[in-house]
Amino acid sequence: MLTSESSPSDLAPPGFTSREQEERISKNFLRAGLDTSRSVELIKKLSGNNQSPSTDDSPDLLTLIITLLVLPGQMNRSSVLDVLGAEGLDDWKSCGLVYEQEDTVRGAVKLYMYQGVLFFFDHADSGRKKDHVIGMTQASLTLAQLTIRDHVSCMLDIGTGSGIQGLLGAKHSDRVVATDINARAISFADFSARMNGLQNFDSRTGDLLEPVKDESFDLIVSCPPFVISPENKYFYLDSGIYGDGLLEKLVTESALHLNEGGYCQIMCEVAQYEGTKWYQRVAEWVKDIDCDAWMLHRQTMSPAEHARMWVKGRSNSSIDDWVNHYVEEGIESISSGMLTLRKRTAQNNWFTIHQIAHGDGQCGHSIKRRFESIDYLNSIGSAQALLSKRICIAPDAGISDLNQPAPDNAPEAKATIRFTSGLLFSELISESTELFIRQCIENRTVDEAIRHVEAASATPVDKNRLFNELHKLIGMGFLIESK
């Protein structure tokens, strides 16, 4: 029995007692219109109204859902009964959505909608325990935005948590498997899948890839407990594995479960130890796994900066204890980002790093473009072969003048080429390269475009320097094969 001192963390994770109950509650959410503009307006209104509807208003279903689960707030039992009826309130209580304290109904879980998908998770202030189920974090949002969204036969979500990555993947996958060592998280993910009416979502309790020993996948995603810490307090943050050993384990084992041509995308932290750069360690991990690898680097933090960021919100944790741990282990800094692997066996695999660019909406196509662009670049072969190729600027790339002095590391830069959608990467280019790109029209070959530049400028083109710039621009996808 819950008391006035109880919190949602004292409750069991949500779940349905029967198929009929599931159908009744699902209809509540379908009828409410959570994906409408009115939903956004209500959230703003109620957020500024002490998280409870005005007593002058008769609450409807949408108001009730937002008040109890989205904000979350509380409502008088009589108001809830006006909307749900006695049977409906009993349904919501028995499946774990709400609980009662005297004459008040409170939300037992939180609800969030992202990209048309409903997912449920624990309250942030519910008295976090080891099996706390977190909602959308910056890392999980980044992964959701960067995931390659091609249709696949089978997808794996490792460390699914509330299930958001797998739920999103169910839209473009015939089958999704979601794993987590936290049984409470699996309950949340399964509940969310059923609330979204998904029939292709298979959730399994177990550590990392243990539940899928003999299976392979076209797409693997993971926002694991990657924090490099001296603690093991929370499933969603701490792996209990020394240093960044979790990432090394995920990288090497995930590659074994990838189908040929399949992608694996992992959010991660990597430690830098004295005498070895962090990216050298990643390069060593991916060296013999038959995968191409692209690391998007987000930031590098000192031990003190990292401790300050992750100790916040933890009970009985000390920044000094964390920093001392890093010093004892010889950790000089910690870098974070996302690593993407692509299975490509029996060939010379590559590994490259870029600083992550700002993103515009869904950016998975930007990730795939990088791999396909390097494929095209490698297919050309020699500089001599490039002369006969027909290339042009990508449709979502543009050139603008450099309206400031060129930086010291690119003194000949005169313009910037940048993408206008997806990940907004940009590169500085020289005047001759800009002139060349503008001559890549009318299906001209590279050699023909060079001749037009030379004719227009009455100056020979430095082909070696031009080819070096073209090599980079083709590899990033700024320049593509003319169709």
Mean pLDDT, rounded, for 134-163: 95
The answer to whether 341 touches 235, Cβ cutoff 8 Å, is: no
Q: Which of 236, 243, 292 is nearest to 271 (CA)?
A: 243
Most confident of 3-7, 170-174, 194-198: 170-174
List phi, psi (to 5°) of 56: -80, -15
pLDDT band at 171 (very low <50, low <70, confident <90, very high): very high
Specify the pairing of strand 104-107 against strand 74-76: antiparallel
User: For residues 479 and 433, what is the distance between their CA atoms, to the nearest angstrom?
Assistant: 11
* Look-up of token digits 């959608």: 421
Q: CA-CA distance, 156 to 216, in Å (whole number)?
A: 9
Cβ atoms 294, 340 nearer than 8 A: yes
H helix runs in 71-116, sequence order = 77-94
For residue 438, the number of C-alpha atoms closer than 13 Å in the C-beta half-sphere is 14
Which helix (H) or strand (E) segment holds residue 154: the answer is strand 152-158
How many other CB atoms are there within 10 angstroms of residue 252's CB atom? 14
375-481 classified as CATH 3.30.70: no
Q: Spell out the residues 6+ positions from residue 103 whose beta carbon is closer than 8 angstroms to its own.
A: 76, 77, 78
Number of alpha carbons in the 13 Å side-chain half-sphere of residue 152? 27
Give the pLDDT of residue 313. 74
Estimate to the nearest angstrom the gap between the alpha carbon of 36 and the chain centroid: 25
Which of these ranges, 28-32, 185-189, 266-270, has the smallest mean pLDDT?
28-32
| 398 in Cβ contact with 426 (< 8 Å) | no
Instruction: Give me 132's structure tokens.
Output: 């706390």
Range of 147-151, 193-197, 467-471 with top mean pLDDT: 147-151
pLDDT digits (tens, 9 = 90+) for 408-425: 777 788 899 999 999 999
Q: What angle do CA 480, 482, 483 make, to 5 degrees?
A: 125
On average, the pLDDT of the chain sits at: 89
Domains 117-373 and 375-481 share a fold: no
Q: Which of 1.20.1250.20, 3.30.420.40, 3.40.50.150, 1.10.3720.10 would CATH assign to domain 117-373?
A: 3.40.50.150
Torsions phi, psi for 155 (to 5 deg): -125, 145
- Over residues 326-337, the mean pLDDT reads 94
Three-state secondary-structure class, residue 105: strand
State residue 217 phi and psi, 5-degree precision. -140, 155
Q: Do 55 and 61 meet the contact criterion of CB atoms below 8 Å apart?
A: no
pLDDT higher at 4 or 142 = 142
pLDDT given at position 2 = 35
Predicted confidence at residue 342, as pLDDT, reads 98
d(CA 97, CA 20): 16
Instruction: Tell me the pLDDT tens digit for each residue of 343-364.
Output: 999 778 999 999 999 988 899 9
In sign, the C-alpha dihedral spanning 145, 196, 261, 213 is positive
Residue pLDDT, tens place only, 238-267: 888 888 999 999 999 999 999 999 999 999
* Cα dihedral 335, 338, 339, 341 in deg (nearest 10): 180
Mean pLDDT, residues 456-475 taken together? 90
- Would you list the domain boundaries of the chain? 8-108, 117-373, 375-481
Asked if pLDDT for residue 176 goes beyond 50, the answer is yes
Contact 199, 175 (CB under 8 A): no
Q: What is the pLDDT of residue 336?
A: 96
- Could you give the CA distance from residue 322 to residue 105 in angstroms, rounded to a whole number? 41
Is the sign of the CA dihedral 347, 353, 354, 360 positive or negative? positive
